Every structure is written in structure tokens, then in C-alpha cells.
Chains A and B, each alone.
Chain A
């Protein structure tokens, strides 16, 4: 019983101060009065009830107190809307950007593939492989539990049963080996998925469709199973529908169909030329499941050894002994498969950026709360003096901070949501449209609010502690403005301002380096008005043209289009100009005549037809461009009969230095080429190492016409006649063959605009972040100066009464701000240099962008000057008020 009473007393002590003041004694008394009686009547159960009752009421009372605190906080914030707005905006933007980056990062790097079992066991080689090699990987049973091959972004012209006359729809799908679904562990929603037992070579063509295809193109028809589709003119039967969320092994490219690799080349031109048996046809990707307990590193080592062995069987005398890995594995179970080596960099960069933003935003808030706490010192002193507990006041200030942070969290979430919508609307200039899931993650929601509460508590606690520490008596007696000695101290607020200036400068410099670096490396320049060139794509192979007829078709097309009066030039290419759709290839050239040592360079591969450079008005620096006869070449690039190749200046310089490039032999993946021409650099679209590596132009040949890349063959038509020309071109093509479908029709200007959209988004984001940092620093500094001026009113009043001039007073106030800005600038500059060094060391992507700009005087001198100027302006506006102080008024206030 005594024990129960002791607990009761302890719990009664724990009630909120306000409650205890009024009811504490009574409640304690009542407990003591009744405890004996209860023990007698109800025994132990009664005592437990008694304790449980009081234990339950403690949090209830606290909640009700907190509600009151919150109501007070809302009122206090509404009374100073400027403070509230700036606080909410600054922290809100910080949180919004953080949440957005966090969601994207999480979604791309850590979220498992939807509808896939045990996604973390999946691995994917970074390099494209031949089907033969992937089959050989299957022998590594101790390392891999399953291996499947697939080819992504394969277009099909699809016709529907019962609707034979309609123009077929162009749909992207995957060619997959029969093991694909069992490796991923995907069960069908209806029907069956592909499997090795049922899907053997020579069977009638079948197709598995995605839920999206079923819903959008078949109207969720219940009879879909067993229906036939016409794929590129050939019949295939629908045997199954995949689960709703399933988006294939690389979900960034939308897939609507899964076609087994066992179908004939008529269904999928990608399978022509026996690619399944060719050991060097590296056109497939592999998706593999690790055997239980096998680590990704050991699997990589095993597969690398196997690949070397296979490579050596092909070429008994390897040209070079290279030590780099031939197979590198990345985690395959995530939305975006980022190479392992790059992962720390991607995470690191974002963490640095997020960290800086959040630090600045939080510092700003802390600073504002600190200033506010100081301004309210008198109010707090009065409340302390009439008996408020210190804890009570701290709680109140903290609830204000938490409220502010929660509101910022809501604002941040709204911003993040808006950013995610913005991102999902972004279209990228890819042959196969990418589709990334940018929806906000629920974790991001939790993350934001956890962050909000931590920020709220963290940044109201310190000011609250400081403000309530005040010695009550002098504050009440003399007013807050008297503590003159304190202002020059290296106080917390000054530290915060220095930190803020330094952080903003770091942010400004890093984003500035990136923005200027990226835009300089991606400065496309066409030598003519890009609006006068039209790009159209066609894909005759998938319109049902037999391979042997396609070459003739293109020849005829070229001739017919050139007869249109307004058309100035026509050219073909396997990809749009200024695009990297062709991928990278490794070129190697002998450095001397005896072929003893070789130099290698990887370049962007462009496959272009006759007259391509003419059409783009790009002058040939040396040699010649491609001609009609190159398109007709039947050579396969064997040693005896080399194919022609044109290099751009960068690639030529990289391979041959300042020597003569024309006439030299180069090899690419065992094929031999002869350099016939050199052109100026045509910049490419995506900001990474490809932009600095140069391009090689390979001739478009009959093989490309017969089996075009996923984006089809691009027709470049230049004409000054505007839309009339396009109409004429369309008419001409339709008159040749009404069944030829034209797609991706746009002007070069529109295409370039689209290419830059990705870059522009990146630049806008980084630029926005930089500007945001600048704004925050200015706000923080302005606030602090305004506060300092307000606090030194009396001192300034005395100075002016003694004859100080306005300019002198102004200088006095500004000097202090200038000192803070100077210290912050130096620290920020050093910090930025350190971060740039660290990021450059991590990856060449940043190194390239930074290389261009870290010596750029615009940034090195401009950024600190800009920041200092804005900071001084932020100081000046409140400082000007100091000069307006009326000495009489200031002194009378005493």
C-alpha cells in the first residue's frame, strides 16, 4: 500500500505545472485519503486501478496543455506574419528540395523492382553481351541461380484482331529469353508467362502483354487471352498478362510486350542475321539471380574470368592485354541500375547538396528564433518573475518552433509534390521514351516530418534556453537594450551569420561551376536556322518490308524527296543529329606503321548517310564526306576491305595527335575502317564524358536500312518553305507507299529544345538552389543587422546627441556586418574548393564540368562579390534605419 502511495505521489508530481498549481495538493490529498479505503475494498486490483488512472491522466493533461501552447503559438506567429512567412518559406524550400531529392534518390537507387520477388538478389551486367555469352554464363551454377537475356526498347508495329485495316500502332517491347520471368520471379496476372518448357524455337509465335497494354489498347477485354496480334505484320497469340505493376527488368524504359527470342526475324528484325548464334553480336542484356549466399563481387570475378576465356577462344592472339574488368555487375533489382562504382558519388553529391541547403535553412531559422527570443526577453522576464517555470517557457517557445517547422514541412511537401509533377512532365529526347516513377515516397513524407520536428525542436531549444537564462532583475529594471558589452562578442548569432554566408557561397560556387560547366560543354551551334530542318522517322522493316527491298526504298525516297522544289537537301541517319542514341564505341589505331603499339579512344558512334554533313552545313576539314557508294557498300569491314569512317576533330586528334588522319586504318570491335574524312566537332546532347570524347561517323549501309535501330531511320530534310515543305514531304512519302508510317516528326529546333530540356531542368534546379542560398543568406544577415540596430538604439542616440554624423553611424553598423561577411566569404570559398576537389576525385563527370569552370573568373571573383554585395545590401537597408534614429526619442525611451 505504501508502495502504491509512493508511486501515486511520484506520478502526481509529473503533472504539468499549471495543473499542479491548481489541483496538485488536492489530488495528492485525495489519493492519500482514499488509498486505505480502496485497499480494503478492492484489494490489489483497486490499487492498480488507482495507479493506472493517474498514470493515464498525465499524458492527457500534457496534451491539453500543449494544445494551449499551440494556440498561443499560432497567435504569436500571426502577430508577426513577416517573421512567420520568411521562416516557413526558407525552411519549407529547404525541406521541399530535400524531400524531392530524397524521393528521387530512393526511388531510383533503393526501391525494388515492382512485382519482382527478392529483387535484391538480381544483378545486371553493365555491358551489352552476345546471346551466346549469356548462354555460357548459365554454366556458372555455383554463382548464379538463374540467367536470362533480354533486349530492351524493341519497337513493334502492332495490328489488332478484327481491325486489320487500321494503321498499326508503334509499341515498345522487349525480346526476352524464355527464362526471363522465372529469373525475375514474376507470376502472371492471367494466362501464363514464358517458360523454357513451353517456348521452344520453331513454335508458333506467342506474346505476353503487360497490364498497361491490356488496359489501354485492349480495353481490359476479358477475352484477350488467345487473341492474336499482328507484330510487324506477323501473327502472334497472346498467352498471358503480367501483373499490374510489373514494368520489366529495366523499368525506366516502358515495355508493353514481351516477345520470346525464339520468334523468327520476320516478327523482330532485331533477330536477323542469326544474332542468337553470333558470338560477337553484343546486342543483349542479361538479368541474373545470384545463387544463395553469393556476393556480387565474387559473381563478377567469376563471370569476368569466363568472359576472358571465351574472348580468347575467339581471337587466339589477343591484340592487347587489358587488365580492366570485362564484365561489371550492378545491382539489378532497383528502378535505375547505377554502376556500383558510381553509387557513392551519386549519393555523396546529393547528400552534400542537401546538407548545405538544410544547414543554411536551419541556420536561418535558428538565427531568426534567436533574435526573436532576445526581442522577447522582457516579456519572458516578466513571466518568469510572476512565477512561470522555466520549463514552461521553454516548452512554449519550442511549440512555436515546432509549429513553424510543421508548417514548413507542409509547405515543403507541397513544393516537393509540385517538383515531382514537373519532373514527370519532362520529356527526354530518346528513341525509346523513358518513364521514371517520380511519385513521392511515403518514406519521404515520414522523412520530411521527422526532419521538421527535429529542426523545430533543435532550433527553438537553443534560443529558448538562451532567452530564459536571462537574469530577471536587470532585464526588468533596465530594458533589453542596455547590454552594450555583448554585441562585439563572438556570439552564437555571429557564428550563425558567418556559417550562413559561408554555406551560401559554397552552394553558389558549386552550383555555379556546374551550371556554367554544363552549359559550356553543351553549347550546340547549328550553322543555319534550326527551324528550317525537319526530322522524320520511318521504319520500313516493321511496316512489313522484306529486308532486300528496303535499300531500294530509301534510294527511291531520297530521289523523290529531292525533286520537291522547296527541299534543299535530304540525308538519312540512324539517329537524330546531336544525339548519343548510337552509344559509345572503343576505337583503336596503330601508332606506327608496324602495328606494335596502339592507341585507344572511346567515342560516340553516329551512323549517317550520304550528304549528312552537307545537310547540316558542316564543313569537311579534310578528306571527303560519305557518298552514295558508301551506302551501297556490302563490305563487312574485314581486314581486306575496310569500311570508310569520318572522325570529328576531337576524335582525330585523340587517335592521331597532330598527324595526318586521312587514310589511316582504325579498328572497332574487330572490324576495320579507313578514315576518309575529318569534320568539325558537333556537340552532343547529354552532359557527361561523351561530350568531351568526340564522335566517329560510320556509314549507313544496307544492313541499317533492313534492320533499323529502335528510333527508326531519321530523314533530315532541309527546306525554307516552312510547313508547306513538310506537307509536300508527307505527300510524297504517302504517294510512294501509303502504308509507310511516319513518326517523331519535328523540326531540328524542336529536337534541340527537347535535348536541352533535361539539361535545362538540371541547370534550373542547381541555379535555383544557388539563388535560394543567396536569398537565405541575405535574409539572415538583414535580420541580424536589423536586430543589432534595434538593440543599439540608445547607444546610437547618445552618439548622435554628442554630434556623430549619420554617415559615421551608418559606417559603424555596416562595419560589423562587413566583418561577418568577410569571414564567411573566406570560409565559404575554402569549403567550396574542398568540395569541388572531393567531387572531382570521385568521378570524371564532375571533373570535366569543373575543369572548364574552376578557373573561370566570372565565378572565382564574381560569386563572392555578388554574395558580398547582396549581403551588404541586406545590411544596409536596416542600417539606414539607424541613421533615422531621433536621439531625443531614443534617450527619452529610457
Chain B
């Protein structure tokens, strides 16, 4: 979902972005990727996007996806939660090292 935070993306794009972001460690395999997309669409967290990039970059066969309003809110909430978690861990670590 994070990879959709910016602009709408297509499947290949999502895969590439995750690959880059994790330094090549995490690869979303195609079928898993589309399975997840399907579930996210069913949960109404993402939707298909009509906005298409400049025609020279576009591939007509590709579907583009973007976050919905709810999806964005869920993403924000999830980010907050993870940040809280990281902060809690940091404090714990600080306590231990002292």
C-alpha cells in the first residue's frame, strides 16, 4: 500500500518499487501480488485508477491502482502504529543500555 501512496501504480510498478525499497530483499511474486490486490480491492482500501500516465509511457493493457480515501486513512493509522512501536522499542533499548 505504501508503494501506492504517491501516484497510482500498475502491478509491475508496485513490484519494482517494493524490490527497490527493500534493497532487493523482498520480491512480491506475481500471483501473490494479484491475490493481495484483489483482497485490498474487496476491502475497498484501493481501487482501480482511471488516471493514466503520459501516453508514451502507458501500456494500454495495464490496470492502474490507487489508494481510496479509507485506504489512505488506514495507511496513516498503520504508519502511526508502527512509529509508536519503534519508539517504544527505542525507549526499551535506551533503558537496557543504561
Contacts of B7-30 to chain A: CB distance below 8 A: 10-12, 15, 24, 27, 29-30
A30 touches B35 (CB 8 A): no
In the complex, A318 Cα to B50 Cα: how many Å? 106
A30 touches B12 (CB 8 A): yes
* Chain A residue contacts of B73, Cβ below 8 A: none
B31 touches A22 (CB 8 A): no
Minimum Cβ distance to chain B for residue A746 (Å)? 69
A61 within 8 A of B: yes
* Chain A residue contacts of B62, Cβ below 8 A: 26, 29
B32 touches A27 (CB 8 A): no
B75 within 8 A of A: no
Flag B51-89 by CB within 8 Å of A: 1 or 0 each: 000000000011100000000000000000000000000
A34 within 8 A of B: yes
Q: Which one of A48-56, A497-505, A611-619, A803-811 is at the interface?
A: A48-56
B11 touches A27 (CB 8 A): yes
A27 touches B34 (CB 8 A): yes
B31 touches A54 (CB 8 A): yes
B37 within 8 A of A: yes
Minimum Cβ distance to chain A for residue B46 (Å)? 13
* Chain B residue contacts of A12, Cβ below 8 A: 31
A54 touches B38 (CB 8 A): no
Query: Which A-chain residue is minimally distant from B33 (CB atoms)?
Result: A30
Interface contact tally, CB-CB below 8 A:
52
* Chain A residue contacts of B30, Cβ below 8 A: 27, 30-31, 34, 50, 53-54
Total interface residues on B, using CB and 8 Å? Answer: 18
A33 touches B31 (CB 8 A): no
A71 within 8 A of B: no
A635 within 8 A of B: no
B37 touches A23 (CB 8 A): yes
Are A53 and B61 CB-contacts (below 8 A) given A22-B38, A30-B15?
Answer: no
Minimum Cβ distance to chain A for residue B13 (Å)? 10
Minimum Cβ distance to chain A for residue B4 (Å)? 15
Query: Which B-chain residue is minimally distant from A55 (CB atoms)?
Result: B31
In the complex, A30 Cα to B19 Cα: how many Å? 14
Flag A686-720 by CB within 8 Å of B: 1 or 0 each: 00000000000000000000000000000000000
Are A26 and B35 CB-contacts (below 8 A) given A34-B15, A34-B30?
Answer: no
Which one of B11, B24, B32 contacts A26 once the chains associate, using CB atoms below 8 Å? B11
Minimum Cβ distance to chain A for residue B79 (Å)? 27
In the complex, A38 Cα to B24 Cα: how many Å? 11
* Chain A residue contacts of B12, Cβ below 8 A: 29-30, 33-34
In the complex, A33 Cα to B61 Cα: how many Å? 13
In the complex, A30 Cα to B31 Cα: how many Å? 9
**Residues of B contacting A: mostly:** helix
B38 touches A30 (CB 8 A): no
Are A57 and B38 CB-contacts (below 8 A) given A26-B63, A30-B15, A34-B12?
Answer: no
* Chain A residue contacts of B38, Cβ below 8 A: 19, 22-23
A25 touches B35 (CB 8 A): no
Query: Which B-chain residue is minimally distant from A22 (CB atoms)?
Result: B38
A57 touches B63 (CB 8 A): no
* Chain B residue contacts of A801, Cβ below 8 A: none
Minimum Cβ distance to chain B for residue A26 (Å)? 5
A60 within 8 A of B: yes
Which one of B24, B35, B37 contacts A61 once the chains associate, using CB atoms below 8 Å? B35
Query: Which B-chain residue is minimally distant from A60 (CB atoms)?
Result: B35
Flag A29-65 by CB within 8 Å of B: 1 or 0 each: 1110110001001000000011001101110110000
Are A26 and B34 CB-contacts (below 8 A) given A33-B12, A34-B15?
Answer: yes
Minimum Cβ distance to chain A for residue B16 (Å)? 9
B29 touches A49 (CB 8 A): yes
In the complex, A31 Cα to B33 Cα: how many Å? 11
Are A29 and B32 CB-contacts (below 8 A) given A19-B38, A23-B38, A34-B15?
Answer: no
B61 touches A54 (CB 8 A): no
In the complex, A31 Cα to B12 Cα: how many Å? 9
Are A25 and B31 CB-contacts (below 8 A) given A19-B38, A33-B12, A34-B15?
Answer: no
Minimum Cβ distance to chain A for residue B92 (Å)? 36
Query: Which B-chain residue is minimally distant from A53 (CB atoms)?
Result: B29
B29 touches A29 (CB 8 A): no
* Chain A residue contacts of B24, Cβ below 8 A: 41
In the complex, A431 Cα to B39 Cα: how many Å? 69
Which one of B10, B15, B32 contacts A57 once the chains associate, using CB atoms below 8 Å? B32
Are A23 and B34 CB-contacts (below 8 A) given A29-B62, A33-B12, A34-B12?
Answer: yes
In the complex, A23 Cα to B62 Cα: how many Å? 10
* Chain A residue contacts of B27, Cβ below 8 A: 38
Are A30 and B61 CB-contacts (below 8 A) given A50-B29, A60-B35?
Answer: no
A30 touches B11 (CB 8 A): yes
In the complex, A142 Cα to B89 Cα: how many Å? 79
Query: Which A-chain residue is minimally distant from B63 (CB atoms)?
Result: A26
* Chain A residue contacts of B34, Cβ below 8 A: 23, 26-27, 30, 57
Query: Which B-chain residue is minimally distant from A42 (CB atoms)?
Result: B27
Query: Which A-chain residue is minimally distant from B37 (CB atoms)?
Result: A23
In the complex, A31 Cα to B31 Cα: how many Å? 9
* Chain A residue contacts of B32, Cβ below 8 A: 53, 57
In the complex, A772 Cα to B68 Cα: how many Å? 58
Query: Which B-chain residue is minimally distant from A31 (CB atoms)?
Result: B30
Footprint of B on A, CB under 8 Å? 12, 19, 22-23, 25-27, 29-31, 33-34, 38, 41, 49-50, 53-54, 56-58, 60-61
**What are 6 A-B contacts with C-beta separation under 8 Å?**
A22-B38, A30-B30, A53-B29, A53-B31, A54-B29, A56-B31
Footprint of A on B, CB under 8 Å? 10-12, 15, 24, 27, 29-35, 37-38, 61-63
